[in-house]
Chain A
Amino acid sequence: MKKAIMMDPRDNVATALAALEPGDEIEVISTKRETVQQVQSRDSLPLGHKIALTDLRQGDTVVKYGAKIGRASRDIAAGNYVHVHNVVSDRMPLTENMLAHM
């Protein structure tokens, strides 16, 4: 089974340790390599990108490493791909210029 790693028990996202496809069943592991939960991927995402572990409403805090990394800019369902299309920084948002380059 493909794996994703949860860096802290408080996190609501995990980092994919392999490229994921819609429908993939994912084993979520801790940094101690223990199985924490399972989640079904809803999207395609590359290795190293993030998948939501719980449903998030627009404005909810996105937590990784046990700390706030930004907030949801739209509703996100468990299993969705989490990245710049649905999360914004509270401290230093990306400029339109940079987003246009992506």
Chain B
Amino acid sequence: MAQFQGFERPNGLVGVRNTVLVMAVCDCGEPAARQMAEGIEGAVAVTQYHGCIALETVPIMVGVAQNPNICGTVLVMMGCEGMRAEPIAEQIATTGKPVEIVNIQEIGSTRKAIARGREIVAAMARDAAKEQRKPFDITKLAVGVKCGGSDTTSGIAANPAVGIMSDLMVDAGARVLMIEPIEAIGAEEELAGRAVDANVRKDILAWVGNDEKRWTVPGAGVDFMCGGNIAGGLTTLEEKSLGAVHKSGHRPISGVLKVSPDHIDHLPAKGGFYLMEGIHIELQAMTYQAAAGVNVIVFATGRGGSFGHAVSPLVKVTGHPETWARMSEDMDVNASTIMEGTESIESVGKRIFDEVLAVASGKVTRGEELGFYNFNIWKQDPRLEALLGLKGG
């Protein structure tokens, strides 16, 4: 049975990092949060950029703080925000992990608040550094799959190899989570055909269909493919989607995690392949996956990617020979051997599987080497949800 070396949390979930999360509840407190974390090993500062009454972001913030990769959380608030830190802290505390609040206006001096914050962060980081990794069964591991900077090599090399990794994970009893519903357009029947039952089938079709409504509002003229996709040879969203869904592998789909303004579903404990409502844009989508509880995210790319994620480390895979040649120092796995005909998709998929277990056990990713901890929250717009008559609006 495959294992990884992780950190157990009081609620029984297992993390692959011991990160202290310093989270400003809105961007007013973000610079202070950043200075509270600066230079302290294992601490990262994040926020959301939608203002202080963006209540729809609360379930995401709670989710990322509950993610088992996080060992403790310091919530930073300026003091007069519409969304209070206290109820957020209460929800995070249900995991049994430490959570503290620093209220700048209450302390009365930003400098004093930063100094107070740094003391708390440093203490949490010291406690975390004492913990030792222990072996856990792979059934405790949750892996996200995401693609971006896609081109036509993505559907031929990187995504099919990630799909093999997904199958190996599910077969071993792990959980795998895919998001980006709009990128299933054109492939919805194939995915629906893998549903474990009629309810999940219905959920999969709604997962795609609802997102198609959001992105095709008549007259809105919204773009969904980037210049790099088109320069990379992708012609239509259908082509992009049919390539993108390869990373889901071939196993039955066990469920669709729901997202609404006041709630997000977290990954269940049961192994299997899951889908999640949300967004397709890379970093926001990764934050949703982290909020649902994924430990590691496998990122398949054609054009390359120079980011990391604050909560879930990224294993970056490229299938483009030129990208590998130019950006190999940013890539964790080379899948371009598939394009060159020198290695099978199955063999690359097994290498990705092994790399995920290594990263789960502490191997530093390319993004972590750079100290890159990107974080961005997508906010579902309740006005659009209501106008379109979509559930959750």
Contact = CB atoms under 8 A, between A and B. Distances in A.
A55 B215 CA distance: 33
Interface in A37-89: 46-50, 62, 64-65, 67-70, 82-84, 87-89
Interface string B178-191: 00000001110010
A64 B151 contact: no
A64 B238 CA distance: 10
A32 B319 CA distance: 17
Interface in B336-369: 339, 341
Given A5-B156, A67-B242, A69-B242, A95 B233 contact: no
A69 to B, nearest CB: 4
Contacts of B222: 95
Contact of A83 (B155, B221, B227, B235): B235
Contact of A48 (B152, B185, B190): B152
B391 to A, nearest CB: 22
Given A89-B236, A89-B237, A91-B186, A49 B221 contact: no
Q: How large is the interface on A (under 10, 10 to 19, 20 to 34, 35 or more residues)?
A: 20 to 34
Given A17-B339, A91-B212, A70 B236 contact: yes
A84 B186 contact: no
Contacts of A102: 227, 230-231
Given A48-B152, A48-B153, A67-B187, A92 B237 contact: yes
B239 to A, nearest CB: 4
B322 interface: yes
Contacts of B339: 17
A65 B190 CA distance: 12
B160 to A, nearest CB: 9
A77 B353 CA distance: 42
Contacts of B236: 69-70, 87-89, 91-92
Contacts of A3: 341
A84 to B, nearest CB: 5
Interface residues of B, number: 35
A91 B185 contact: yes
Contact of B233 (A15, A62, A68): A15
B239 A69 contact: yes
A31 B355 CA distance: 25
A61 to B, nearest CB: 11
B215 A48 contact: no
Contacts of A33: 341
A87 B187 CA distance: 19
A67 B156 CA distance: 15
A94 B242 contact: no
B225 A94 contact: yes
Contacts of A94: 223, 225, 230
Contacts of B223: 94-95, 97-98
B156 A68 contact: no
A48 B232 contact: yes
Contacts of A98: 223, 225, 227, 230
Contacts of B156: 5, 7, 15
B216 A64 contact: no
Contacts of B230: 83-84, 94, 98, 102
A7 B156 CA distance: 8
A50 B224 CA distance: 21
Interface of A: 3, 5, 7, 15, 17, 33, 46-50, 62, 64-65, 67-70, 82-84, 87-92, 94-98, 101-102
- Of all A-B residue pairs in the complex, the 6 with the closest CB atoms, nearest first, are A89-B236, A49-B233, A69-B239, A48-B152, A70-B236, A48-B233
